[in-house]
Amino acid sequence: MSIEGWQALRRRVLEDADLQAILWRHADWGAFEAALAALGAPEAPCPWIRAPISDHAVLNSRPAGPHWAPADLDLMTGRGVQWIYCGGERPVEPFFSMDTWRWSQRPLNAFLQAHASFVPDPDPPPPVVGLVFHLSRCGSTLVGQMLRAACPDLLVLLESRAIGKAARHLPWAPIDAGRRVEQLRYMAKTLYEGCGAPPGGLVIKAEGTALYDLDVYLQAFPGTPWIVIHRDPAEILASHQREPAPEATQGVLEFAPPPSLDFQMSSTLSPESYAAHVLAALCEAATEGLEKPGSLGRLVGYADIVAWTMQALPCHFALSLPSDAEARMSAMADRDAKFPQTAFIDDSREKRRLADTAEIACAARIVQPAYQALLGAGA
């Protein structure tokens, strides 16, 4: 049978939530293919299964059924939202992209490969109870992991690509702020619903440059408390030097350069100086948000994040915690947030050693005025 037979079967599954749930149970390829055969699949091998293809199922709206989550957002090629079936599972990995990769390995997602155009949703946004922003490399992943450990009824999203791209402003692909607010609400809502809509609500830990778009987040989720986590800029820059982050690297089209630079100017800078300009811009954006009248933002230092997360953050985010929450948080704090199977090893001394090099010390001076202003705003 031609490929049309396989495409018809794929459409049938995309439109039937019960079939999706049945097929999701088959993690083994042999069992999955047998289940497809029972549904009348052609005898010939599926032309795209077990291998990535360009023949995605492009839909007019999200697939049928409650257990779909947006894995990514592609506004430049017209594919729109990349949907992934998660079976109602909660994300558990240090970064949401690791969860989506794990789900993508299931046969059902390899078979369906669904994309859909973004359609504004008139429904209210999900119950976002807190927003976590950061200057990068300063402990925000640990905060998210501690909240997950403490609050079984809370969904904690750690740097969802779909959420980050929905809010992000890119000069070469401009989208007005109102549209970005709509996109952000939609991504958060569908992620919350797709991952089971837990009764405790949703905490979003944003990506590294999200502070550039702080106003979009606060318009999307008005009245939501938020925090900014900071660290000595020299230590952050030392971390970027050792392992550069995409948002602090020149020429990465997915991220705009800081407002003070354009591509031509940024190309003349050293990697350390470019990262310093990014960090300074994040400090300035955070300061502006904290200084607004009635701001619900709080500034939290790297050295204080464990104690602050255990003692002050639950109150700030109005979380209802179980009686053993503190013990759960404390146990998580002893683990490496990005590699939870290993114990935490404090690398501050090594970062301080790197921070004392001439390149880092010079770059850190670029950040200092903005960083001191941030500390003043958070005092």
In this predicted structure, what is the pLDDT of residue 260? 80
Helix pair 233-242, 358-378: axis angle to 10 deg: 130
CA 229 → CA 134, 305, 313, 315, distances in Å? 5, 8, 12, 17
For 362, the 3-state DSSP assignment is helix
- The DSSP element (H or E) to which 85 belongs, if any, is strand 80-85
CA 188 → CA 44, 50, 286, 325, distances in Å? 40, 30, 22, 25
The reply to whether 268 and 310 lie within a common domain is yes
The reply to whether 364 and 244 lie within a common domain is yes
In this predicted structure, what is the pLDDT of residue 53? 47
- Is 18 inside a domain boundary? yes
In this predicted structure, what is the pLDDT of residue 57? 61
User: Which of 116, 138, 165 delimits the end of a domain?
Assistant: 116
User: Which of 92, 116, 140 delimits the end of a domain?
Assistant: 116
The reply to whether 99 and 159 lie within a common domain is no
Q: Which residue has the tokens 């049978």?
A: 1
In this predicted structure, what is the pLDDT of residue 49? 64
The reply to whether 42 and 81 lie within a common domain is yes
The reply to whether 92 and 47 lie within a common domain is yes
In this predicted structure, what is the pLDDT of residue 342? 86
The reply to whether 175 and 94 lie within a common domain is no
CA distance 334 to 310: 13
Q: Residue 164, class by beta-carbon neighbours within 10 Å (0-12 exposed, 13-18 middle, 19+ buried)? A: buried
In this predicted structure, what is the pLDDT of residue 240? 87
- Is 121 inside a domain boundary? no
- Is 122 inside a domain boundary? no
The reply to whether 147 and 65 lie within a common domain is no
Q: pLDDT of the chain along its 379 residues, tens only?
A: 467 788 888 889 999 999 999 999 999 988 998 999 899 888 766 766 655 444 566 676 788 889 999 999 887 666 689 999 999 999 999 999 999 999 999 999 988 888 887 777 777 889 999 999 999 999 999 999 999 999 999 999 999 999 999 999 877 677 889 999 999 999 999 999 999 999 999 999 999 899 999 999 999 999 999 999 999 998 899 888 888 888 888 877 778 888 888 777 777 888 888 889 999 999 999 999 999 999 999 999 999 999 999 999 999 999 989 999 999 999 999 888 888 888 887 777 777 677 678 778 888 889 999 999 999 998 7
- Is 123 inside a domain boundary? no
* Domains identified in the chain, total number: 2
Question: Which of these, 298, 308, 258, lies nearest to 278 by C-alpha position?
Answer: 258
CA distance 253 to 249: 10
User: Which of 116, 138, 164 delimits the end of a domain?
Assistant: 116
The reply to whether 105 and 66 lie within a common domain is yes
- Is 157 inside a domain boundary? yes
In this predicted structure, what is the pLDDT of residue 77? 65
The reply to whether 85 and 148 lie within a common domain is no
- Is 347 inside a domain boundary? yes
For residue 185, what are the domain limits? 128-378
- Is 243 inside a domain boundary? yes
In this predicted structure, what is the pLDDT of residue 221? 96
